[in-house]
Structure 1
Amino acid sequence: MKLGTNQITTNQMIALLSSALIAVGIFTLPRNLAIKVGTPDLWISTLIGGVFSYLTCLIIVTLCLRFKQLTFFQFNKLIVGKWLGMLLSAAFIGYALLIGSFEIRSMGELTQFYLLEDTPICVIMISMYWVAIYLLTGGINPIARLIELLTPLTICIFILVIVLGIKVFELNNLRPVLGLGISPVLKGLTPTFLTFSGAEFLLVFIAMMQKPKEAKRVALIGLAIPVSIYLLAVVIMTGGLSVERMKHEKWPTFALIQEYEYRGVLFERFESLFLVVWLIQMFLTYIVCHYVAAEGVATLTRLSYKQASYMLLAAVYFICLIPSDLNQLEKMGTIIGWTSFAFSFIVPSLLLLIALMRRLKRDGEQESGT
């Protein structure tokens, strides 16, 4: 990795982290939370999940700053040895591909259901990731610039469309608070694992920051944005639809948007605008996942980054086809959620603990005094 040509600014890193976390979860989280929690306390589960994600980010940042300018694929071998490190790297590559494939398949499902009903889903997916490869082959700099440009736009439009749901908002749908105690809230933490998956990609991107010392600031702001958005969405949707209705809606977000209408403005119905903008956001999330996987393959093999990017297209396509329907896609999301928990918390915590015990830092050197 040539750091001179692959450095990204702090603002780009904030946009990149936010973009990685804001994706298909906006469509799946409300329904999954409603099913798991079953009470109006969905927003509490979302908030706790966000706080936990921030704590995991602090662990990741602390680990990465001990091995400055080295990505996860490089420094894990210094901590646990070559072979175990390669195994961890291969698993992380597979995980990134799994998330990327999940995003592409979800994009395909949404596009087919709402926009292109008669178009085969494989055609939709292929067109999406062939556009993506054009951007991916340019490396991290054009990716970071595009994300920095588009993420604020998509976030602003999303917030606008969701806030307009105040028109059908009923405060009573959010009551009672903790009516059945804390137990249902804790059950709702599992769906947030998928929603907040993506923070673990800091294991790769912190090494590319121009100012790595600002990584904690990146984690705070980069997580605060998506957590706030998901929290707002869950509150508005719960108030506008009620928990019971959210359980039975295939896509609660669109159900909410279809509930209200504003006449005399440029858009009277907002679902099409929302869908187009959010497809862009899911596309950006896929870009991040594919980049991480390609960077890992290039690090572990003799392939160049571009060669790895092209090679992984086939892997993404076949993984996309594994789920036979939306139920299988939801199960795939559950697997991703638990795997995300492993790579965002368990693996970094163990690596940091081993590095501290062995007093390892960059280049495998031991800290002074040993």
Structure 2
Amino acid sequence: MGRDGGQLTTLDFIALISSTMLGVGLVVLPRTITAKVGTPDGWLVLVIDGLLFFVVIYVLLQILKKHNVKNYFDYTQEGFGKKLGKLVNLIMVVYFIGVASFEVVAMSEMVRFFLLAETPVELIILTFILTSAYLINSNLKVIARVCVFFFPITIAVILLIYAFGLQIVDIKNVQPILGQGIMPVVKGMNTVMLSFFGIELLLILKGFTSKDTKLMKGAFVGFAVPLLLYILTYVLVVGGVTVQEVTTVTWPTISFVQSFEVKGIFIERLESFLLITWILQFFTTLTLYYFSAVTGLQSVFRNGYKPNIYILIPIIFLLANWPKDTIEILKMSDMLGWIFPFVLLAIPILNFLLVAIKRRVKAR
């Protein structure tokens, strides 16, 4: 079965969480927050929301620990009952498929726009889905090894590019702090959902860990690394491009990298280098959501692991071809953003209460 192949270490867990979070969010984050806040205080939104999410992570892991959850999909059926539990699991599977489709279409749009303008977008989408399916066909341990290998390389490349970009950053562009008060920050609190996609997968990944895996440390570090990178990205992009320009471009992080040149090295224009590296993060995010959808279907229908991989290929492909332009892609992310809190918080907490009541009744 695809679940086999070795249990996750703490390092695996960190790499999987971080790799899943670092998808589309990084390249659109400065625009989405700034458009809502209207001031250069978007980094405060990330700090406050990040602290709140640390609390959420702690609560979720305490829930899983208290009820000794080994398989989250089975745990859901224990709380909601067999039939309703399967329906809830199916809703989560649809969400996972939706995010996988969103990641692959956003990735293909970026590749088409910046790298392969003449290549049919359908071919790009299908190539990424099939490559992901091939990786999922092994097991989660293999996926974790891919993340452990590529994630440090991606972070190193991004930090190096950002270091070169410091030459155009003007700290005055992110000042004054709270110049218009706290209300713009409060108004922007709900804009980071897309950037925090991926943290909900700790509910699924926990079932693949061993007793030696330090879940709390893994989840906190796995979340903290992308959060710090998001804050750094926001400050640099707004500092280098200005608030007004950030709100007018689709991919502000890439626009920031395009704003400067580096003389004397083998590549002067760094955006292509960034894109090629960042495709790896899109790919790992797609793969982990794809994997979660496959294991979810396996739990709902009690069928084989591998058949679900092939069943989902055309479904993800069709959903990924639904948005016809960047505006529709962003609308798709907004739809998923509304479902995200239910998958992350509402369902787990309600299920915890139901299981607690049922177990207490049985114990009497």
* Structure 1 gap segments, 5+ residues each: none
Which moves more between the two structures, 105-114 or 211-220?
A: 211-220
- Residue 345 of structure 1 is matched in structure 2 by 345
Q: Match of 1:199, as an amino acid?
A: I
Q: Kindly indicate whether the alpha-carbon contact (under 8 Å) linking 1:109 and 1:121 is maintained by their aligned counterparts in 2.
A: yes
Aligned length: 364
Residues 77 and 249 (structure 1), Cα distance of their counterparts in 2 relative to 1, 3 Å cut: same
Matches within 5 A, 1:186-205: 186-205=186-205
Alpha-carbon displacement from aligned partner over 1:172-215 (angstroms, at most 9, x marks no partner) = 11111111122111222222111101111111110110236621
Match of 1:318 in 2: 318
Report the Cα offset of residue 353 of structure 1: 3.0
Give the whole-Å Cα distance in 2 for the aligned partners of 1:175 and 1:32: 19
SS in 2 for 1:117: coil
Per-residue deviation, 1:81: 1.0
Within 5 Å, give how 1:1-370 maps onto structure 2.
Answer: 5-68=5-68, 70-211=70-211, 214-359=214-359, 370=364
Q: 1:337 Cα deviation (Å)?
A: 1.5
Aligned 8 A contact 2:3 2:140 in 1: no
8 Å Cα contact 1:59-1:345 kept in structure 2: no
Q: SS in structure 2 opposite 1:70?
A: coil
- Residues 326 and 4 of structure 1: is their aligned pair in 2 closer, same or farther, counting only changes over 3 Å? closer
Q: Tell me the SS of whatever aligns to 1:248.
A: coil
Q: Distance in 2 between matches of 1:3 and 1:128?
A: 22
Equivalent-residue separation in structure 2 for 1:359 and 1:161 (angstroms): 54
Query: What amino acid is the match of 1:122?
Result: E
Cα RMSD (Å)? 1.7
| Counterpart contact for 2:261–2:268, Cα < 8 Å | yes
CA–CA distance in structure 1, aligned partners of residues 110 and 261 of structure 2? 22
Give the superposition deviation at 1:351: 2.0
- One-letter amino acid of the structure 1 residue matched with residue 160 of structure 2: L
Deviation at 1:163, TM superposition (A): 3.0
Q: Give the drift of 1:69.
A: 5.4
For 2:234 and 2:77, the matched residues in 1 are separated by: 41
3-state DSSP of counterpart to 2:75: helix
Partner Cα distance (1:63, 1:84) in 2: 20
Q: Does structure 1 retain, via aligned residues, the 8 Å contact 2:77–2:84? A: yes
**Structure 2: where are the runs of 5+ without partners?**
none
Give how far 1:3 is off.
6.7
Instruction: Indicate if the aligned counterparts of 1:9 and 1:211 stay in contact, CA closer than 8 A.
Output: no
In structure 1, distance between residues paired with 2:138 and 2:246: 41
The letter for the 1-side match of 2:341 is F
Aligned-partner Cα distance in 2 for 1:290–1:255: 30
Query: Is contact 1:7-1:141 (8 Å) kept?
Result: yes
Q: Which amino acid aligns with 1:321?
A: N
